[in-house]
Amino acid sequence: MKNQWITAKAFISYLTLQKVWNYLLLQLSFQLSRWFQKPLIWGKATTLSIEPTTSCNLRCPECPSGLRSFTRPTGMLQEQLFEKVILQTKSHLSWLHLYFQGEPFLNPRFLEMVRFADQNKIFTSTSTNAHYLDEKKVKAIITSGLKQLIVSMDGITQEIYEQYRIGGNLEKVQEGIKIFISEREKSKSQFPRVVLQFLVTGQNEQQIPALKQWAKEMKVDELQLKTTQIYDFENGSDLIPSDLGYSRYAPAGNGKWKLKKKLENKCWRMWQGAVVTWDGKVVPCCFDKNAEHVMGELSTQPFRDIWKSNSYQLFRNQLLLDRSQIEICKNCTE
């Protein structure tokens, strides 16, 4: 709770009247769209996720970066494109998540991009597998303006950790977190806030008590236990934990599985923000890992045109009418 309060205060300090007004317009148009079953969009994106790179040092089994299975081009975000997007969106953007697929710290200009967004008064966060947190890098992160660092650590022993984070080194991750907390303390800064994220699976669920103890000793700011998305959930998977409180899926009978949450014909995310791939494609959300629903290309079109384009409106319309017709929306808890 304390961490959420500190994060919220920082977030609010980046808001402007224009951003708040924009948010209210988005909310209002979202509610009216549901009412009329017709996509009205009055504001502009209040959040964006931008992908620093598709490269990754690990081989996680439910991730196209890890599996090297992308059907779209792979590469590194270039600063020039990034800065163009920030300048086009900074008046309405309140939260920038510098992450989609891949490990952000593999982009050599990553922290310069964070700094640029921060200087343009945008709250920034990122997610990392924490294999690159040496002392020099940690000092640079602390002074970059980054406000939230989400660290993925899904096991408390190497044997369990590497079952999902294939190729990962738990000692390195834990050492990185330790350096980070200690350097941040020395710098007397409260930021970035460190959120330890643990994807609960059938393999690691027994380690939750030990994980909680470790997180407390390390003084991480927050521990989040997350459910895992599984591509082929209908036939079950070893990744589904036995404690279904940590699962997005439930038995459907006949050995089959189904999504726990009922699919509703709505999605606030389509009004709230968008995801941008490393090469500037705007896609609806982070479930579109292979960019199958490209709404526009920022290399050639301004963001405001893409946000209200026909393809975006058709997508929003389909969501309001029958979401089950969109493949990516069938396995989504939104």
- Please give the residue ranges that form the binding site for ligand SF4 (CB under 6 A): 267, 269-270, 284-285, 287, 323, 326, 328-329, 332, 334
The least distance separating ligand SF4 from the CB of residue 17, rounded to whole angstroms, comes to 28
The least distance separating ligand SF4 from the CB of residue 65, rounded to whole angstroms, comes to 18
The least distance separating ligand SF4 from the CB of residue 259, rounded to whole angstroms, comes to 11
Burial 287-315 (b: 16+ CB within 10 A, else e): bbbebebebbebeeeebeebbeeeebbeb
Q: Is 27 left (phi over 0), alpha (psi -120 to 50) or beta?
A: alpha
Q: What values do phi and psi take at 122, rounded to 5?
A: -120, 130
Bridge-partner residues for 150, per DSSP?
127, 195
What secondary structure does DSSP assign to 210-259, as a single string?
HHHHHHHHHT-SEEEEEEPP-TT-TT--TTS-SSGGG-SEEEEETTEEEE
The least distance separating ligand SF4 from the CB of residue 328, rounded to whole angstroms, comes to 4
Nearer to ligand SF4, 25 or 332 (CB): 332
Burial 178-216 (b: 16+ CB within 10 A, else e): ebbbebbeeeeeebbbbbbbbbbbbbbbebbeebeebbe
**CA gap 302, 254 in Å, rounded:** 50
Nearer to ligand SF4, 191 or 287 (CB): 287
Nearer to ligand SF4, 55 or 318 (CB): 318
Nearer to ligand SF4, 50 or 285 (CB): 285
Nearest to 154 by CA among 200, 121, 185: 200
| Cis bond upstream, residue 192 (ω within 30) | yes
Nearer to ligand SF4, 135 or 327 (CB): 327
The least distance separating ligand SF4 from the CB of residue 92, rounded to whole angstroms, comes to 20
**CA gap 240, 72 in Å, rounded:** 28
The least distance separating ligand SF4 from the CB of residue 310, rounded to whole angstroms, comes to 17
Nearest to 149 by CA among 5, 7, 1: 7
Distances (CA, A) of 60 to 15, 164, 206, 278, 289: 36, 6, 20, 20, 14
What tokens appear for 182 in the block? 């200690």
**What is the sign of the dihedral through the CA atoms of 37, 41, 46 and 49?**
positive
The least distance separating ligand SF4 from the CB of residue 218, rounded to whole angstroms, comes to 32
The least distance separating ligand SF4 from the CB of residue 331, rounded to whole angstroms, comes to 8
Nearer to ligand SF4, 77 or 295 (CB): 295
**CA gap 12, 255 in Å, rounded:** 48
Nearer to ligand SF4, 31 or 57 (CB): 31
The least distance separating ligand SF4 from the CB of residue 199, rounded to whole angstroms, comes to 18
Nearer to ligand SF4, 92 or 293 (CB): 293
Nearer to ligand SF4, 160 or 274 (CB): 274
